[in-house]
Amino acid sequence: MQSVEYEKGLLVQAVWRLARSSDTNELLAVGCALRNWIIRRGPLSPGQKYFSNYTEAIAEFMETYPLRSLPKINEPALIDPREGLLARIDGIYDCSAVDLASSHVNTQGARYFGAAREIGSGSKFDREVLSNQGAHPLIGTFGSLQFYV
């Protein structure tokens, strides 16, 4: 196994555990949001943080966001040969897949995601994103999560 495959495995695990549903679009959007912490597209804004690799980004997200348990090995959203996370993770990792969590207005894509219903909860997501939507506008909803710049 090479380091690239190791990182892809970590990315699959992180995407699954950070997503809150098995919706394929939600899984892919979470993967794209993670990628947007590593791949910089456009100028670096003051105070904007980037990671040098997926391993570092994943470690921080896994400590910050709520997690769900890993899927069973026969979970369709994981193993579907065309739409499953395992079939689509290469495109997220190597940037050949379109960033689902970007728009024509926000081409750098989403870097934050969570449920809008967390507003007022005092969570880190609430404090940093929901309470500061001028700096973190909503890009869209995929599955059960909202994605923000």
pLDDT by 10-residue block (mean), the chain, 149 residues: 94 98 97 93 74 94 94 97 96 93 86 92 90 92 95
* Model pLDDT, residue 20: 96
Query: Distance between CA atoms of 78 and 71, rounded to whole angstroms?
Result: 8
* Model pLDDT, residue 22: 97
Closest listed residue to residue 139, CA positions, set 19, 36, 43, 22: 36
Residue type, 109: G
* Model pLDDT, residue 90: 97
* Model pLDDT, residue 71: 97
Report the predicted TM-score, pTM, of the whole model to 2 decimal places. Answer: 0.93
* Model pLDDT, residue 39: 87
* Model pLDDT, residue 1: 83
A 10 A CB-CB count for 68 gives 12
Query: Distance between CA atoms of 133 and 22, rounded to whole angstroms?
Result: 27
* Model pLDDT, residue 104: 82
Residue 109 CB-half CA count within 13 A:
22
Contact criterion met (CB below 8 Å) for 26 and 107: no
Angle at alpha carbon of residue 5, lines to 60 and 63, rounded to 5°:
15
* Model pLDDT, residue 131: 92
Phi, psi of 142 (to 5 degrees): -130, 120
Q: Quick one: DSSP state of residue 14?
A: H
